[in-house]
Amino acid sequence: MNLFSIRKIEPPDNVALAKIIRDALTEFKANKPGTVYFDDSTDHLYELFQQEKGIYHVATIKDQILGGGGIVHTTGLAVDTCELVKLYLAPAARGKGIGKALMQQCLDEAKNAGYKKVYLETMPELISAIPMYEQFGFSYLSGPLGNSGHTGCDIWMIKLL
């Protein structure tokens, strides 16, 4: 595979990223109520990440979008905690280190923004992502933090930076 690059999200990226996210959730049979599949914000990622201390990165090869991931301060989280959100890749981009590079970029951005903890929500259907979270030092929680509205997620994890 050619070398990929990672950049900040731009307004024209919204359509391609929404498709990657929804296609991945469908592929893994995780396109259920209470997930980002049904979030209106999935269609407006650029706008979502314009808030303070929110950032979304997009992985590309020759201007082809491969996926993305971001951090944002979700309502109800402690001031020192952000949420890792919408980290998804197109099938052709998986298993090539792109997800790990996006994850590291998000963790670096969280630390640079002054966060002390990174929280995430996921579900068992996204089986390939969970080992990566564990490798990056995320530990399991017994319940959700904050108010993401993602009632379809039943795995909650946190990492101290």
Tell me which of 8 and 147 has the higher pLDDT: 8
Of 34, 5, 62, 13, whose CA–CA distance to 147 is shortest?
A: 34
Report the alpha-carbon distance of residue 75 to residue 50 in Å, rounded: 15
For 16-39, what is each residue's pLDDT tens digit?
A: 999 999 999 999 998 988 888 888
Alpha-carbon span 9 to 99, nearest angstrom? 16
Rounded percentage of the chain residues whose pLDDT exceeds 90: 73
Query: How much is the mean pLDDT over the chain?
Result: 92
Can you say how many angstroms the Cα of residue 126 is from the centroid of all Cα atoms in its chain? 12
Edge-to-edge, what's the strand order for the sheet holding 117-122?
A: 5-8, 55-61, 64-72, 81-89, 117-122, 155-160, 139-141
Residue 118 amino acid letter: V
Domains of the chain (ranges plus CATH)?
Answer: 5-160 (3.40.630.30)
